[in-house]
Amino acid sequence: MPSYGWLLALSLAALTGNPPGAVANEQTERNCSLTPPYLPSTAVNTTLQLKELRALMSPLSISAYIIPDTDAHLSEYISPRDARLAFMTGFTGSAGTAVVTPTKAVLWTDSRYWVQAERQMDCNWDLKRDVSIMSVAEWLISEVPPGGEIGFDPFLFSLKTQEDYSVNLMSSNRSLKSMPANLVDQVWKERPSIPPGGLIRLPDRVIQRSWQMKVEQIRSQMTDSPYKPTALLLSALDETAWLFNMRGSDIPYNPFFYSYTLLTMNEIWLFVHMERITDELKVYLNTSCDGPLCVQLKSYDSVLDDLKMYVDQPGIKVWIGTEYTNYALYEIITPEDKLMTSSYSPVLTTKAVKDETEQQILRDAHVRDAVAVIQLLMWLEKVVPEGKETELTAAKYVDTCRSKQKDNRGPSFDTISASGPNAALAHYSPTAENNRKLTVDEMYLVDSGGQYLDGTTDITRTVHWGTPTPMQKEAFTRVLMGNIEISRTIFPSGTRGVNMEMLGRRALWEVGLNYGHGTGHGVGNYFGVHEWPVGFQSNNIPFREGMFTSIEPGYYKENDFGIRIEDVAVIVPVTTKYGHNYLTFDTVSLVPYDRKLIDTSLLSSEQLQWLNSYYETIRKLVGLELDQQELHEEKDWMLRNTEPFVAPGSSASVSSSSLTLILLTVTLHNII
């Protein structure tokens, strides 16, 4: 799916009508200019929670209170119990910031969610169509009196967020005030509890490095650091999950559990909800001993007190990754000479490079995942002409197909199933209010992924069941050219993704087209579908052998159609004529592209050769899996859609005689 580092500035006008599923004749967006105001049935009454929040603010002498959209681990996906922004505003989008003053309440969000916000918020709230901290700060300066303090929960601010607010407020005589307790939590009487279910350890067959080996590997990096840290603090949920080869179920779509870890040269402190640790896990973690490879279990809620106790000792220096350490923990590590920082912790940078076992099982997961996507595309090809299926039924179908694959643990994100103008919204997902029927007259984009015990998948395919327009066909082909150009690139080890990102855009730029989201993101082994710090953005780390990244250029024509082609690839060594230590990408997503959307006259001979080689790989790897699952119809569909292309300038189709020869060759090969 598209990474969230870039925001797609696309209008949501396509959703402003009465979509299928909406109440008949009901206006779908609020109108606060009327007397009385008009509110659709989807709007949430927030009068009570605002009144109670303001009552808490008054004795604290704060002029405003900021409500971010994240949790204490700065996670992209959050648990329902951390959805404070949704509770206060009624708005359920994944990106936004709210501010409440004694008289006003305002939400900032980006263009993906403007219409959604107008449908879900009541007239207590104003909507600001922006996401920048500068915009929030300028509004605060205009509303908060000089000398006023602005409250915030330091657990929900990153170091950079706190710094950006402070810089923008610096010369205004307004300041931030760190609050010891979250005010929204005090108002939220029915706040969801931590999801039920304990923690699990990964089976030995899917790991190469034990947690003890990983601890020693990270300690070695601490020893080698010239700054000589005495401890490493891990705050991101995937850091602790990776270190201990354990998973949980606290976050939707992500197999993580609430936790922190403090790793010293002689001790390991794991902060976790104690009731979730079974006797079996205590044995696994060596909790009954006191040595350097024995885990000391501590209450999740004691992290501040225990960290302060550790920092108060002499000769201490704590290493943190600034991207995922919240400001509350940062505040504890003082003075500055007790702090060592890097953008990412050594756990995140080490985790980014998969070992041999991780690479192989992640490849295996993508082969099984390809079967599910092929089943979806084959089914849609049959049923869409009948006019009965919708974006929602397609999304449910691919989830069902994945659920039948070995070691599947559910989807890795909410499936993006979008047709026609909905596909022009890069992060659209169907709901009862905006769901559309699928037809042969429109483009269809499906971006979906699965969580498997051995890997996380993410793949996007765009198809057309009728006759695409020349512009649609050219745009699709140029998106495909961008995908291929990155995929076939050879580059020195240590090259940054941002330095080759334009290869995904060049074919589009040549005709004045572009896209507004990121070109790729890291993917993990049963982790988050967006796994930092790998990718093509300026704050991603250099590429090295063994990293996995998505490659996903696109194009979106407002109110008309959207195109994205997304594959996951692993970085592998390549032999060159003269140089050594060079790398390239090996695509592990194995689903064919829609043939009728490919204009081979635009492809270079090198691009066509890459495409045919990719199709040969699909036939070999996915064909074997389809045989093992006895999915004969699906295999026939795959073979038809991976026929070799002939030459630049020729049709994507092949003659009937050539087709007969190809199928005969494949049949004989299978018999032999």
DSSP code per residue over 467-534: ---HHHHHHHHHHHHHHHHHHT--EETT--GGGTGGGGTHHHHTTT----S-S-EE--SSS-SSEEEE
- CA nearest to 503, candidates 553, 451, 435: 553
pLDDT, residue 110, reads: 87
> Can you tell me the distance from the alpha carbon of 374 to that of 637, in angstroms, rounded to the nearest whole number?
8
Please report the DSSP string for 70-117 in residue order.
Answer: --TT--SS--GGG-HHHHHHS---SS-EEEE-SS-EEEE--GGGHHHH
Which domains are seen in the chain, by residue range?
46-187 (3.40.350.10), 200-352 (3.40.350.10), 356-634 (3.90.230.10)
- Tell me the C-alpha distance between 455 and 589, whole Å: 12
Question: Sign of the CA dihedral 574, 576, 578, 579?
Answer: negative
The tokens for 404 are 């039948």
Q: Are strands 231-234 and 259-264 parallel, antiparallel or unpaired?
A: antiparallel
Give residue 654's pLDDT.
40
Predicted pLDDT at 370: 98
What is the predicted pLDDT for the residue at 657?
37
Q: Nearest-CA neighbor of 553 among 541, 539, 565, 540?
A: 565
Q: Which residues of the chain have pLDDT under 70?
A: 3-26, 648-672
Q: What is the rounded distance in angstroms from the CA atom of residue 50 to the CA atom of residue 626?
A: 56
Between CA 296 and CA 269 the distance in angstroms is: 5
> Phi/psi at 384 (nearest 5 deg)?
-60, -40
> Residue 662: its pLDDT value, please?
37
One DSSP character per residue, 118-142 reads HHHB-TT-EEES---HHHHHHHHHH
pLDDT on residue 12: 30
C-alpha 361: how far from chain center: 20
Please check whether residue 252 is in contact with residue 79, taking contact to mean a CB–CB distance below 8 angstroms. Answer: yes
Give the pLDDT of residue 26.
Answer: 60
